[in-house]
Amino acid sequence: MKILIINGPNLNLLGKREPEVYGDLTFEDYFARLQMKFTEVQLGYFQSNIEGEIIDKLQEVGFTYDGIILNAAAYTHTSIGIGDAVKAIEAPVVEVHISNTLKREEFRHVSYIAAHAKGVILGFGLKSYDLAIRSFLEE
């Protein structure tokens, strides 16, 4: 099974960025743990701070991968383009967030992705990604 994790803007700063909200682990370290844990999954990881690059990546893998785990970060709340790309592709997309966005500012309560996603997992810290992988495996 091929699954790609796509992280959006500022998630390259995990470990340094607002550790009280996002924790103190880098995503690279967490990704290595996921790879060790889910050896049966061909797990990939892509991060970009650029909206168009995220759309390009969704289009590139969206017709061949078995699943995509997307944390579009701030673009979740603004990007019709990323939402449209999720709608356009065939691979199921699970939207994830590290924090519980519904407990935070009102502008974070909107998602342009959720309506096109298979499901949404939020608020479990980095474990949200682990749960998303499991959602694909336990079908």
Which residues are marked as active site?
A: 22, 97
Q: Does 79 bind ligand DQA (CB under 6 A)?
A: no
Number of H-type helices and E-type strands within the chain: 5, 5
DSSP H or E stretch at residue 4: strand 2-7
Q: Does 108 bind ligand DQA (CB under 6 A)?
A: yes
DSSP H or E stretch at residue 113: none
Compute the half-sphere exposure of residue 33: CA atoms within 13 Å on the CB side of its CA.
10
- Choosing from 10, 12, 49, 78, the residue that interacts with ligand DQA (CB under 6 A) is 10
- Choosing from 6, 55, 73, 93, the residue that interacts with ligand DQA (CB under 6 A) is 73
Query: β-pairing, 93-97 with 67-71?
Result: parallel
Region of 36-44, 53-61, 68-76, 130-138 interacting with ligand DQA (CB under 6 A): 68-76
Per CB under 6 A, residues contacting ligand DQA are 10, 71, 73-74, 76, 97-99, 101, 108
